[in-house]
Amino acid sequence: MTSGRSIDRTLLVASTLGGVILLWLALVESPSLAGRENVTSPLAWKLFFFHVPAALASFIAFGVALISAVLYLRTRSTTWDHSTHAAAEVGVLLSGLTLATGLIWGKSEWNDAWDWTNAKLVMTLVLFLVFVAYLALRQNIPEPEKRARISSLYAIAGFAAVPLTWFAHRIWNTFPHPQPLEPQTTEQGITTPGIMPIFGFGVLVFILLFAALYRWRLQLLEAEARVEALSVATEVPA
Amino acid sequence: MLTLSRSLHRERDRGTWEALALLPVDWGTIYFAKVAANAVILLLVETIVLPLYAVFFNYDLVTPLPKLIPVLLLGTIGFCAAGTLLSALSSHARAREILLPILLMPLLVPLLMMTLQATHKILLGFPSSELLAEHELLVAFDAIFLAIGWLTFDYVLGE
């Protein structure tokens, strides 16, 4: 347990320090894209260093949640259920961060915060909503065993909708409908020298952040379950 | 959506559920039966609403009807497949009537998109060759959710 503690502490310190360094790198050190073609808002573009890493980390989080849900149904071990819960919570946080930064960037770059014809946006929103609904479902089932079983099933069913939404959007895009908003700026920006290392660092920081929060939340959930079990055990004889 | 939640929640409250669980059939079969029953009700509603829609919005629905029917069928089956599964899931929860739409809506996004686009194209008079992709995705949606429901219904109701 002590080695686990030190891993947690290292992860927390590393991701916090990394976050501060990332802020400085992204806001001060990163090359400016001002005056570029297709970039109307070079300042908002700096959100890229937080937006994309947060999105990648949230996909990892939801992946962990899905795998844990499947493993729970196979093994019926509560640790896997707690793992799904913890990963879903952190995933919702990261996904919300992705959506928020995306909205701000979209507003200043496209002059339109949301674009329903963009598959990535809608897919991220569906994923976000599925796991918000997952957390709402958990809140509403008092019995721990039932809660674990039912919410794991929902996580699996919900995840199945995500690739379907992706394909639906690929078909949707062939529909004769104007496509004025093509986000080419990121592809252009990424080839600019000096951006790739900072972006890579950002991905690392967000993955560390996910790992730190996930482990932290997981331990908290385990502790909560132990307290609950103890209080039930002491109440029954009285 | 209201009928969906009623179809299962009422059975839980009245204890019909326990009797059903005693039936000597696979629970996957019960799931299919529930999907079928919900689909029949929904199709009945559609046969009433569709003519009304044609009258009030002054649309000619008779000519595109042969193309419209497969889309309606696939959409109804998909809606009921996902809806029945989630209504069974939410029947374990408190505040289940409110919870069901919250759980169901994100899953229905691809289905709604495809049925909307297909009906839109049909009403605009597109040839059926241009509707293939929508049909494929609707079939995929139906198959995936029927399979998930069939395979996991034991877990949903086993207690």
Lowest mean pLDDT of A100-109, B14-23, B141-150, name the range: B14-23
Distance from CA of A123 to the nearest CA of B (A): 10
pLDDT score for B130: 74
Which chain B residues have a beta carbon less than 8 Å from that of A158? 103, 106-107
Name, in order, each residue with C-beta under 8 angstroms of B119's C-beta and a sequence gap of 6 or more: B68, B71
| Structural tokens at position B9 | 């929640």
| Structural tokens at position A178 | 């104007």
Residue A196 pLDDT greater than 90, yes or no: no
Binned at pLDDT 50, 70 and 90, residue A238 comes out as very low
Contact A73 B105 (CB under 8 A): no
Task: Measure the CA angle with vertex A59, ends A30 and A72; round to 5°.
Answer: 150
**Per-residue pLDDT tens digits for A144-188:** 888 888 888 888 888 888 788 777 777 765 544 444 444 444 444
Quote the CA–CA distance of B124 and B117 in Å, as a whole number. Answer: 10
ipTM beyond cut 0.90: no
Place of tokens 């039912």: A150
Q: Are A11 and A34 in contact (CB under 8 A)?
A: no
Hey, of A71, A150, A169, which one would you mutate to test binding to chain B, going by the most B CBs within 10 A of its CB?
Answer: A150
Radius of gyration for chain A, computed over Cα atoms and rounded to the nearest angstrom: 21
Contact B109 A150 (CB under 8 A): no
pLDDT score for A25: 81
Task: Tell me the mean pLDDT in the region A27-45.
Answer: 67
pLDDT score for B23: 67
Task: Measure the CA angle with vertex A233, ends A227 and A238; round to 5°.
Answer: 125
Contact A171 B134 (CB under 8 A): yes
Task: Tell me the mean pLDDT in the region A115-123.
Answer: 74
Which chain A residues have a beta carbon less than 8 Å from that of B133? 171, 174
Task: Measure the CA angle with vertex A88, ends A87 and A90; round to 5°.
Answer: 65
**Per-residue pLDDT tens digits for B47-98:** 888 888 778 877 777 777 888 888 888 988 988 888 888 888 887 787 777 8
Binned at pLDDT 50, 70 and 90, residue B16 comes out as low
Which chain A residues have a beta carbon less than 8 Å from that of B155? 73, 149, 153
Torsion sign over Cα B149, B152, B154, B159: negative
pLDDT score for B159: 52
B12 burial type by CB count under 10 A (0-12 exposed, 13-18 middle, 19+ buried): middle
Quote the CA–CA distance of A125 and A60 in Å, as a whole number. Answer: 16
| Structural tokens at position A84 | 């799904």
Lowest mean pLDDT of A130-134, A191-195, B103-107, name the range: A191-195
Q: Mean pLDDT across chain A, nearest whole number?
A: 79
Residue B3 pLDDT greater than 60, yes or no: no
Q: Are B116 and B137 in contact (CB under 8 A)?
A: no
Binned at pLDDT 50, 70 and 90, residue A71 comes out as very high
Residue A24 pLDDT greater than 70, yes or no: yes
Name, in order, each residue with C-beta under 8 angstroms of B83's C-beta and a sequence gap of 6 or more: B1, B4, B38, B104
